[in-house]
A and B are shown apart, each in its own frame.
Chain A
Amino acid sequence: QLQLQESGPGLVKPSETLSLTCSVSGGSINNKNYYWGWIRQPPGKGLEWIGSIHYSGTTYYTPSLNSRVTISVDTSKNQLSLRLSSVTAADTAVYYCARHSYYYDSSGSFYYFDYWGQGTLVTVSS
């Protein structure tokens, strides 16, 4: 069974860089049919897609965060990482990593987030 686990500091100071890692177990990141995404959820609010990365390095980001976000992948460790620079209180959220199915074949098309980590709360505060 595929499992994803986020890790990283739970507290980040304003203007600094938020860094998180997502470890994937029970399956390989090296699969052409899947991207691996980051989604966040401010306390009491809705979900926001941050971006997704393919093991090849192809990356897509949401336009509103494009200037501050970097997602990378380490295939040797089966991990993906998120870096968000110049954070403010508005970046306080639970951050989730998820498998982003991203393919079509003869049986149909498969574009969705099907496996999620448990999420990790990151608070931006001095």
Chain B
Amino acid sequence: QSALTQPPSASGSPGQSVTISCTGSISDVGTYKYVSWYQQHPGKAPKLLIYEVNKRPSGVPDRFSGSKSGNTASLTVSGLQAEDEADYYCNSYAGGNNWVFGTGTKVTVL
């Protein structure tokens, strides 16, 4: 099972929006709605941001939103803030009780 493909980096100025893609295949993202997104600050554990493609857990700001089209899922961070500078990872169910993470994207707030 190969890792899902994410762009290595993305950036935006404070207040702007940034969208991160997560490309898989018909075997994972393209078939299942169990796509989640995680934010990881340096030296810290990942934090759940989005689950089931576009649902936010309690406490996650609505600046974070998710979507999916075909084999690609996306995370959009609107109204960028300095604290949004972090690494972001997608995760998808890949069938057969197998789970796969994305390669990760480093978001820089300019």
Contact (Cβ within 8 A) A64 B1? yes
**Chain A residues, Cβ within 8 Å of B52:** 108-112
**A118 in contact (CB, < 8 A):** yes
What is the interface residue range for chain B against chain A? Answer: 20 to 34
Most buried by B among A111, A112, A116: A112
Shortest C-beta distance, A125 to chain B (Å), equals 21
Per the bound structure, the CA–CA distance linking A47 and B48 in Å amounts to 13
**A55 in contact (CB, < 8 A):** no
Contact (Cβ within 8 A) A47 B55? no
Binary contact track B76-110/A, C-beta < 8 Å → 1, others 0: 00000000000001010100011111111000000
Per the bound structure, the CA–CA distance linking A116 and B102 in Å amounts to 18
**A74 in contact (CB, < 8 A):** no
**B36 in contact (CB, < 8 A):** yes
Given contacts A46-B103, A111-B52, contact A62 B36 (CB under 8 A): no
Contact (Cβ within 8 A) B48 A111? no
Contact (Cβ within 8 A) A109 B34? yes
Per the bound structure, the CA–CA distance linking A92 and B79 in Å amounts to 37
**Chain A residues, Cβ within 8 Å of B33:** 109
**A117 in contact (CB, < 8 A):** yes
Contact (Cβ within 8 A) B45 A62? no
**B38 in contact (CB, < 8 A):** yes
- CB-contacts of B29-79 with A (<8 A): 33-34, 36, 38, 44-48, 51-52, 55, 57
What 11 new A-B contacts, CB under 8 Å, besides A46-B103, A114-B48, A116-B47?
A: A46-B104, A49-B100, A52-B99, A63-B1, A64-B1, A109-B34, A111-B36, A111-B51, A111-B52, A112-B51, A113-B36
Chain B residues with CB under 8 Å of chain A are 1, 3, 33-34, 36, 38, 44-48, 51-52, 55, 57, 89, 91, 93, 97-104
Chain A residues with CB under 8 Å of chain B are 39, 45-49, 52, 60, 62-64, 96, 98, 108-114, 116-119
